[in-house]
Amino acid sequence: MTPTPPTDATADDRDSETAADTDDHLIPRLGLPRRDFIKAGAAVGAMGTLAGCTGLLDNNGDGVASASDVDASVPPGELDEYYAFLSGGHSGDVRVYGVPSMRQIMRIPVFNYESARGYGHDDETREMLESAGDYTWGDAHHPRVSQTDNDYDGRWVFINDKANGRMARINLKYFETDAIVDIPNTQGVHGACARLPDTDLIFGVGEYRVPIPNDGRNLDDPDAYESVLTAIEPESMNVVWQVRVDGNLDNGDGGKNGRWFFATDYNSDGAVTESEMARPDTDYLKAFDTIAIEEAVENGEYEEINGVPVVDGTTESPLNQGDRPLVHYVDVPKSPHGVSVTPDGTYAIVSGKLDPTCTVVEIDRFDEVDDPNDVIVGQPLVGGGPLHTAYDGRGHAYTTLFVDSQVVKWDIEAAVDAERRSEDPIIEKIDVHYNPGHLIAAESYTADPQGDWLISLNKLSKDRFLPVGPVHPENDQLIYIGDDDAGMQLVKDTPAYPEPHDASMVHRSKIDPEPVYDPEDLETEYVDVDDTEVIREDGRVHIKMTSQRNEFGFHDVTVQEGDEVTITTTNIETTSDLLHSLAIPQYDINVKLAPQETREVTFTADKPGVYWMYCAYFCSALHLEMRSRLLVEPEE
Amino acid sequence: MTPTPPTDATADDRDSETAADTDDHLIPRLGLPRRDFIKAGAAVGAMGTLAGCTGLLDNNGDGVASASDVDASVPPGELDEYYAFLSGGHSGDVRVYGVPSMRQIMRIPVFNYESARGYGHDDETREMLESAGDYTWGDAHHPRVSQTDNDYDGRWVFINDKANGRMARINLKYFETDAIVDIPNTQGVHGACARLPDTDLIFGVGEYRVPIPNDGRNLDDPDAYESVLTAIEPESMNVVWQVRVDGNLDNGDGGKNGRWFFATDYNSDGAVTESEMARPDTDYLKAFDTIAIEEAVENGEYEEINGVPVVDGTTESPLNQGDRPLVHYVDVPKSPHGVSVTPDGTYAIVSGKLDPTCTVVEIDRFDEVDDPNDVIVGQPLVGGGPLHTAYDGRGHAYTTLFVDSQVVKWDIEAAVDAERRSEDPIIEKIDVHYNPGHLIAAESYTADPQGDWLISLNKLSKDRFLPVGPVHPENDQLIYIGDDDAGMQLVKDTPAYPEPHDASMVHRSKIDPEPVYDPEDLETEYVDVDDTEVIREDGRVHIKMTSQRNEFGFHDVTVQEGDEVTITTTNIETTSDLLHSLAIPQYDINVKLAPQETREVTFTADKPGVYWMYCAYFCSALHLEMRSRLLVEPEE
């Protein structure tokens, strides 16, 4: 369907419609909004990092909340309050934003080769990428930050590759990818969600149904296709078990108490065409009892396929009968998409996608009911194309409406109290531009969302930015949600390179990266000034050298055409932000060298001639002069 | 040397010191600053695209001009006034920013493979990259936008690859790279500057001295190394001639009248180590008389090397004697770096790098003087580490000071009137953070700079943004230069992924891209619904299909293991921003398909099994269901 333009109704209109219904029961129960001091006019002093424009200014009355209503400015030299980690979709990277400035501070290559960071250019990172399937790209969807006791612990970000069935780990000590696992027995792996409270398991949800193993058997027998849920141990990044299910798996989220994992299913019939997949009026929410699954694995009740214990979680499985099924199948309308667990761990909320409702499931009821459908305790009528839901910690849910191009704010307890398919729980809607997919609120995935900022990741931007040809940026819109009286306020449009898919937002106090490498953390041995040497043995040349302002350890090195050359280089600088690189013209090499970092690159000297090895990081006034000659003598 | 921290002096201090000297002669001659209506308090109505915060607010008095002094806000839904094209340095891409918001609107892959845009993934773009040297990265330095009659014409952006000696062309109709040429006989190609007024030649300046040809001869005989200037015809992207010179070549800029091209030389001795290169007290500005060079080529006075006519422009060349030398060698201090021609075409201004001066050369004097050094008419003492100079169209030059971490504003005519090495022409300095390389002012490279915005591309950011580990972003700082009375005002810090090297800034009125492809502009034949077919002939399978919401032209296609498969896909959508892609799991393929775009991809079906071809651009509520099966039957 075509993007739906914003309606004429404005956020202000909606406030006036709904304020009466909501304020009287919201304010007493939830207290005052936490972050209303952030509003213009009261910012000075209260929050230094958010100081700036201090004049109280009028709403510009154009139906879009003006940026001047909420002070989201971050003056030169001041820092943002939050890190946002946005996946890069099929660009394969992860982007780090500052919030509320929405400035992109860093890219982290994950499934893509990237030369400025030398990612996939030095031996170690290239081997990591090659050993994990040797793909040049990935489809990075769901960045999730590791937690301890249901709060962010600043250790890792996990991110899935939907295209090739991989899971990667980003180390937040250095903001770099340090592990990638190629997951067997699955295709279209979605989600990188964790078992909480302590992120002791990472889950990859298999979206596409394929034969297992997918080696040519049952090629055109869709009934024999299967989807699996994959559990990965985060320290080792080893796949520890899988569960096969009926239908398929889409998005997922973990419960807060170490037991449950939830995933949606939009293809309960196991169909192979769009029209067939969209036919059923209900599909499934699947609730995985990970404790029961682990017991089944311990009891040997699995089939080993491609080295992985695969447990049978299909509806007909003997393990799924009785009073402790591995997987509970709950009927929810219609081609459900997103699922997320409320901060207090009480509910899992499922978005209908092809049904204008969200479905509220009370998690504790799984142990109490005979009919799994009796876990459903609410089903508010939210609007067209509900996809994903985030939380503010004040009892509200925020759901993206892809078809209506809106974000709807609704009251969770009111939805439990209300009739099914009622609009009563709806507090307000705000237009976004256009067609939102995921959204993220500050620390929404933890037990304590911060309740101030929300980002709507809109898939289309249309005419919101200067035109740049057929490929448009997406539009990540910053919305202030800290004032329940004023309602949601659109603050910023932010263009984004295709295709940010999902995000996590973490307070800056919870991440503490190192500006300089600890050589102990690196695989390759440190090369100090005294260690500089060239080792030659039949056809192999190993050059060990340093880099520092403004020279490499050797002014020139001579090798023979055909030699296999390994260059190990240490940046012996100790000053933060003083990077060098080792770039070799026409040899397709650029190795990044941060302070105290050692990297190694191996290549065959197959082109005779003079090649000026140079530093590609602008490191000093004599940066251009920081180069050495690689002299490749021709074969006789 | 280590980055120099900002001094305690503030922009305000400097204003009060210099205002008396400057205002009385600036105001009468240059008139009032053009864009002072942009200042807060007068923005409403005067400039819709720059409306927003309208309260007149105090300077926060912290020595950094407050963002509230100048209104650089671009409220949600409003457009920026300028496009800025920033090179990506050794990331190999080009980034498109909006100014004054400093939002990154788009990335354009040039020398890097990039999957979201399918760049290097479809047959056509992969062949372009492979035929231009088959490198996976490049070092993109100097984006220059094509001009007609010394004004931007919105046709192309040219960008060099310093690492591998290539030049690329970006087509601004579609904002995509459409040609790359691998330049022979040169290494470390710097600059992508043009002969003006009409960009009828593009120049690549050879920074690194190497043997010509570089095939193993004269390996360790630096006296036999040479640098060349390369001229490229922009329509065909063919190399048309080269000039060999003494010493080396660094940055360059074209004159405005179709004759002159200027390049600096920081290695006049032909040295091979940093200390030797830095030794001479003077090196060269080289002025190339391109008309005289073209006459020499027409007269056959060249040596053909690797298919290119190479003219001898060394000091001893017969062609360089007499009254019309091909290349004029001017002595300038010391390891000079940047050179840029003033908007009126009168002067070429060279930055000293290792000398605290800029050197002002009067271009017309080359025809009048016997001693080429007599073209020097001014040499202001600007400060530590001058690198590059931009212009505001009001008679001022703005020069980055790498060592002092400042931008200095000085008066060009005052520098001509003043004693050599005098500070009198200096109007003010502003601290930047930290260590600026290039800088760019709005339309500074044209005959009519706009004089409002300036971006300082600072190489180090240190602690200006949330910490993200050892790899820091750079810091592109937006400075308002539209008010000579108020002085330069720092408006925004903008983090940038390493390593923006240079930029061009173009008013939005001069670029008019197409949101939808014209099939006539594409190499591959359009596939309409009626053209959908599968053609099989011994071991080759050609699949011709469409893509549209929400399906591909086939629900499934069966091929044999080992088949060479070509898939031609047309996105038959006509709606702007409605992209699809063709992603194939585990086959490492993602082909971007914008509206009305046809792309082709060829691969060997070497893995048996079921592979779900899917669309990686979120295109509708049934986007996830937009997929088809590639069935690869195993060999018997």
Which residue in A has a C-alpha nearest to residue B404's C-alpha?
A: A621
Assigned domain for A36 exists: no
Closest partner CB to B106 (pick from A112, A471, A594): A471
Among A263, A257, A209, which residue's Cα sits nearest to residue A231? A263
Residue A490: C-alpha distances to residues A65, A70, A431, A477 (Å)? 5, 9, 9, 7
Average pLDDT of chain A is 90
CA angle B38, B44, B47 (to 5 degrees): 55
Number of domains in chain A: 2
CA angle B480, B484, B486 (to 5 degrees): 70
Beta strand pairing status for B93-99 and B103-109? antiparallel
d(CA A533, CA A136): 34
Does residue B558 belong to the interface with chain A, where contact is any CB pair within 8 Å?
yes
Interval A253-306: pLDDT, tens: 999 999 999 999 999 999 999 999 999 999 999 999 999 999 999 999 999 999
Contact predicate A328/A372, CB 8 Å: yes
Interval B574-589: pLDDT, tens: 999 999 999 999 999 9
* Greater model confidence, A485 or A56: A485
Determine the average pLDDT of the residues in A41-70. 35
Q: What tokens appear for A303 in the block?
A: 């089939």
pLDDT band at B439 (very low <50, low <70, confident <90, very high): very high
Q: Indicate the burial class of B635 (C-beta count within 10 angstroms; 0-12, 13-18, 19 or more).
A: exposed
pLDDT score, position B121: 97
Write out chain B residues lying below 8 Å of A501, CB-based.
Answer: 618
Write out chain A residues lying below 8 Å of B223, CB-based.
Answer: none
Q: Chain B closest CA to A455's CA: distance in Å?
A: 14
Contact predicate B491/A76, CB 8 Å: yes
Q: Which of B468, B501, B599 to mutate to test the interface with A (most CBs of A within 10 A)?
A: B468
**Which of B485, B510, B535 is the last residue in one of the domains?**
B510
Same domain, yes or no, for A487 and A627?
Answer: no
Same domain, yes or no, for B503 and B579?
Answer: no
d(CA A596, CA A576): 10
Q: What tokens appear for B121 in the block?
A: 């993934």
Interval A234-248: pLDDT, tens: 999 999 999 999 999
**Which of B463, B486, B510 is the last residue in one of the domains?**
B510
Same domain, yes or no, for B441 and B356?
Answer: yes
Assigned domain for A27 exists: no
Among A615, A563, A562, which residue's Cα sits nearest to residue A585? A615
Checking if the pLDDT of A26 tops 90, the result is no
Q: Chain B closest CA to A368's CA: distance in Å?
A: 34
pLDDT band at B71 (very low <50, low <70, confident <90, very high): confident
Does residue A219 belong to the interface with chain B, where contact is any CB pair within 8 Å?
yes
Beta strand pairing status for B151-161 and B347-351? unpaired
Same domain, yes or no, for A479 and A535?
Answer: no
Q: Indicate the burial class of B532 (C-beta count within 10 angstroms; 0-12, 13-18, 19 or more).
A: middle
pLDDT score, position B60: 34
pLDDT band at A69 (very low <50, low <70, confident <90, very high): confident
Interval B1-60: pLDDT, tens: 222 233 233 223 323 333 223 222 222 222 223 333 233 332 322 233 332 322 222 233
Contact B585 A188 (CB under 8 A): yes
Of A48-52, A323-327, B315-319, where does mean pLDDT reach its minimum?
A48-52
Assigned domain for A25 exists: no
pLDDT score, position B34: 32
Determine the average pLDDT of the residues in B361-379. 97
Contact predicate B394/B484, CB 8 Å: yes
Same domain, yes or no, for A503 and A545?
Answer: no
pLDDT score, position B493: 98
Checking if the pLDDT of B348 tops 70, the result is yes
Same domain, yes or no, for B408 and B543?
Answer: no
pLDDT score, position A372: 96
Contact predicate B379/B357, CB 8 Å: yes
Peptide bond into B213 cis (omega under 30): yes
d(CA A507, CA A152): 9
Q: Spell out the residues 6+ positions from residue A130 whose beta carbon is closer than 8 angstroms to its own.
A: none
CATH value at residue A539: 2.60.40.420
What dihedral do alpha carbons A496, A500, A506, A507 form, nearest 10°? 10
d(CA A327, CA A316): 11
How many residues in total does chain B contain? 636
**Torsion sign across C-alpha atoms B118, B119, B125, B130:** negative
Sheet holding B627-633, edge to edge: B556-560, B627-633, B609-614, B580-584, B589-593
pLDDT score, position B69: 72
What dihedral do alpha carbons A413, A417, A423, A428 form, nearest 10°? -20
pLDDT band at B564 (very low <50, low <70, confident <90, very high): very high
Of A156-165, A514-523, B37-46, B332-341, where does mean pLDDT reach its minimum?
B37-46
Q: Spell out the residues 6+ positions from residue A307 whose beta carbon is closer than 8 angstroms to its own.
A: A184
d(CA A520, CA A527): 13
Write out chain B residues lying below 8 Å of A608, CB-based.
Answer: 215-216
Assigned domain for A30 exists: no
Among A325, A259, A247, A314, which residue's Cα sits nearest to residue A284? A247
- Identify the H or E element spanning B351: strand B347-351
Residue A78: C-alpha distances to residues A42, B33, B492 (Å)? 18, 30, 10
Average pLDDT of chain B is 90
Contact predicate A244/A310, CB 8 Å: yes
pLDDT score, position B192: 77
Beta strand pairing status for A589-593 and A580-584? antiparallel
User: Considering chain A, what percentage of its residues have pLDDT values greater than 70?
Assistant: 89
Q: What tokens appear for B476 in the block?
A: 């592109």
pLDDT score, position A634: 97
The count of CB pairs under 8 A between chains A and B is 447
Assigned domain for A45 exists: no
C-alpha B353 chain-centroid distance: 21
Beta strand pairing status for B489-496 and A489-496? unpaired
C-alpha A331 chain-centroid distance: 28
Q: Chain A closest CA to B34's CA: distance in Å?
A: 24
Same domain, yes or no, for B450 and B567?
Answer: no
pLDDT band at A19 (very low <50, low <70, confident <90, very high): very low
Q: Which of B69, B105, B355, B626 to mutate to test the interface with A (most CBs of A within 10 A)?
A: B105
Of A492-506, B11-25, B161-175, B257-271, where does mean pLDDT reach its minimum?
B11-25
d(CA A82, CA A445): 14
pLDDT score, position B16: 31
Does residue B5 belong to the interface with chain A, where contact is any CB pair within 8 Å?
no
pLDDT score, position A397: 98
Same domain, yes or no, for B535 and B464?
Answer: no
Which structural domain range is residue B558 located in? Answer: 523-633
Assigned domain for B191 exists: yes
* Secondary structure of residue B34 in the 3-state scheme: coil
Q: Helices marked H in A197-308 — which ranges?
A: 274-277, 290-298
Same domain, yes or no, for A427 and A319?
Answer: yes
Peptide bond into A33 cis (omega under 30): no
Contact predicate B119/B148, CB 8 Å: no
Assigned domain for B33 exists: no
Assigned domain for A502 exists: yes
Same domain, yes or no, for A471 and A559?
Answer: no
In A339-471, which ranges are E strands? 339-341, 347-351, 358-362, 376-378, 386-391, 396-401, 406-411, 426-431, 436-441, 453-458
Among B259, B263, B311, B264, which residue's Cα sits nearest to residue B289? B259
Checking if the pLDDT of A45 tops 70, the result is no
* Greater model confidence, B392 or A65: B392
pLDDT score, position B636: 79
Closest partner CB to B612 (pick from A56, A187, A585): A187
**Torsion sign across C-alpha atoms B61, B63, B69, B73:** negative
pLDDT score, position A196: 97
pLDDT band at B136 (very low <50, low <70, confident <90, very high): very high
Contact predicate B549/B573, CB 8 Å: yes
Interval A415-472: pLDDT, tens: 999 999 999 999 999 999 999 999 999 999 999 999 999 999 999 999 999 999 999 9
pLDDT score, position A54: 26
Q: Give the DSSP letter of residue B77.
A: T
CATH value at residue A501: 2.130.10.10
Same domain, yes or no, for B493 and B558?
Answer: no
Strand partners, A430: A407
pLDDT band at B295 (very low <50, low <70, confident <90, very high): very high
d(CA B138, CA B135): 7
User: Considering chain A, what percentage of its residues have pLDDT values greater than 90?
Assistant: 87
Interval B149-180: pLDDT, tens: 999 999 999 999 999 999 999 999 999 999 99
Does residue A510 belong to the interface with chain B, where contact is any CB pair within 8 Å?
no
Q: Chain A closest CA to B370's CA: distance in Å?
A: 33
Q: Which of B560, B624, B626, B635 to mutate to test the interface with A (most CBs of A within 10 A)?
A: B624
Checking if the pLDDT of A4 tops 80, the result is no
Does residue A461 belong to the interface with chain B, where contact is any CB pair within 8 Å?
yes
Strand partners, B537: B540
pLDDT score, position A62: 36
Interval B457-513: pLDDT, tens: 999 999 999 999 999 999 999 999 999 999 999 999 999 999 999 999 999 999 999
Instruction: DSSP for A565-599, please give it.
Output: EEEEEEE---STT--EEEEETTTTEEEEE-TT-EE
d(CA A546, CA B356): 31
Contact predicate A138/A111, CB 8 Å: yes
Instruction: DSSP for A57-73, please give it.
Output: -----SSS--TTTB---
Within a 13 Å sphere around the CA of A537, how many CA atoms are in the beta-carbon half?
1
At which residue do the structure tokens 């590059």 appear? B388
Does residue B574 belong to the interface with chain A, where contact is any CB pair within 8 Å?
no
* Secondary structure of residue A129 in the 3-state scheme: helix
Same domain, yes or no, for A242 and A287?
Answer: yes
pLDDT score, position A44: 28
ipTM for the whole complex: 0.90
Contact predicate B289/B320, CB 8 Å: no
**Which of A476, A510, A544 is the last residue in one of the domains?**
A510
